[in-house]
Amino acid sequence: MIKNDLFLRALKGETVDRPPVWMMRQAGRYLPDFMKLKEKYDFFTRCRTPELATEITVMPINQVGPDAAILFSDILVIPQAMNIEVEMKPGVGPWLPNPVRTSKDVEKVIVPNVHEELGYVMDAIKMTKQALNDEVPLIGFAGSPWTILCYTVQGQGSKNFDIAKKFCFTNPVAAHILLQKITDTTIAYLKAKVAAGVDAVQIFDSWGGMLSPTDYQIFSWQYMQQIIDALKDEVPVIAFGKGCWFALDEMSKSGASALGIDWTCSARNARYLTGGKITLQGNLDPTRLYSPPAEIRKMVHQMIDEFGKDRYIVNLGHGILPDIPVENARAFVDAVKEYSK
C-alpha cells in the first residue's frame, strides 16, 4: 500500500482534504544535485543507467516533497528504439542527424521489441519503486505520437514545426504509417512500464497546439485515443495537450482519468469545456515560479479555489524551468500542503 495515495485518489475522483501536487520535469534541471550529475554524465547515459535514473527521480521527493514521483527519462527514447538516431546537443536540445522525410525513410522505421530496446527503463522503474519504498506513487510517461513525429521529421526543436507539418500535408499516407508505428511502440512501451510497476501514466502532447482543431483530430488525437483505450483498464491515464484547449470536450470523453491544462486556459473554462466531471491537472505558468515565495503561495491558493480541491491535481502548465530557485519550487509544493478550505 502506498502511504501517500492522495494523487491516486484524486485520479479516481475521490473527495480529499487537499489536492495532491507534483511538477512536470520535477526530476531535474533546477536541482543543484542534478546539475552535479549532469556534469559527470551525458543526457542519455543518465536515462539509460537505472541507478542514475532512480537517484534523479527520487531527488525531488526528498528535497521538495511532491505527492508523486515521475520517472526520469525522455520522450525521445521511443524514436531511438525505433531505429532513429537521436542526440542531445548542448545549447540545441534534441538533434536528429537523419530526420524522416520520405516514404522510404518511414519504411526503415521499426516497431521494436520494447523489452529488448527499452529494458533499461523497466529496470529503472523497478529500482525506483524500491527506493521510493511505497512513500508516493510513480508516474511513467510517453510523448504523443504527433509530438514524436514532430521531432523525427523536423530533426530538432522548432517554433512552428513547419517541416513536420509539410510532411503530413504533402505525404499524408506516409505520415499516418509513421504515426501508427509510433502509436504501436508507445502502447507496448507503456504497458511494459505498467508491468514494471508504475502507478499512473501521462501522455505529453507538447506540440498538439501547433495544429488547427481539424488537423488535431486527424494527426494527433485519434492516435492518443488508441493509447488511452489500450491502457485505461490497467492504469490511470493523464492526457496533456499543450495549447489544445479546443479539444478538451472530446478529451473529457476519452476514458482518460485526468487532463492536463496549460496556463493559457482558465480554470473556469477548463471545467466548463470538460463538463466538470473529470480530474484536471495544472496549470500555473512555469515562469510564475520566479515570483517571490509569498506571492507563489497566494497564487497557488487562488488556483485551488478556482479549480476546486476535488478532482484536481496541482501542477504547472508545462515543465519547470532550469533556473527556478529550489526554495520557490518548495514554496509551490508547500502552498498546496498548507491549503485548507
Average pLDDT of the chain? Answer: 97
Evaluate if residue 160 carries a pLDDT over 90.
yes
Contact 58, 37 (CB under 8 A): no
Query: Given this model, what pLDDT does residue 10 score?
Result: 98
**9 labelled as ligand-binding?**
no
Q: pTM of the entire structure?
A: 0.97
**26 labelled as ligand-binding?**
yes
**Chain segment 13-23, per-residue pLDDT in tens:** 999 999 999 99
Query: Given this model, what pLDDT does residue 340 score?
Result: 80
**184 labelled as ligand-binding?**
no
Q: CA 330, 332, 337, 338 torsion: positive or negative? A: positive
* pLDDT confidence tier of residue 209, bands split at 50, 70 and 90: very high
**29 labelled as ligand-binding?**
yes
CA angle 180, 183, 188 (to 5 degrees): 130
**81 labelled as ligand-binding?**
no
Query: Given this model, what pLDDT does residue 91 score?
Result: 87
**206 labelled as ligand-binding?**
yes
**25 labelled as ligand-binding?**
yes
What topology is assigned to 6-243 in CATH? TIM Barrel (3.20.20)
**43 labelled as ligand-binding?**
no
Query: Given this model, what pLDDT does residue 174 score?
Result: 98
| Cα separation, 25 vs 71, whole angstroms | 9
**44 labelled as ligand-binding?**
yes
| 200-205: strand order across its sheet | 69-70, 138-143, 200-205, 237-241, 258-260, 279-284, 312-316
* pLDDT confidence tier of residue 142, bands split at 50, 70 and 90: very high
Evaluate if residue 181 carries a pLDDT over 80.
yes
For the segment 1-8, the average pLDDT, to the nearest whole number, is 97
Beta bridge partners of 279: 258
For the chain, give every domain's residue range. 6-243
**28 labelled as ligand-binding?**
yes
Give φ, ψ of 34 to 5 degrees. -65, -45
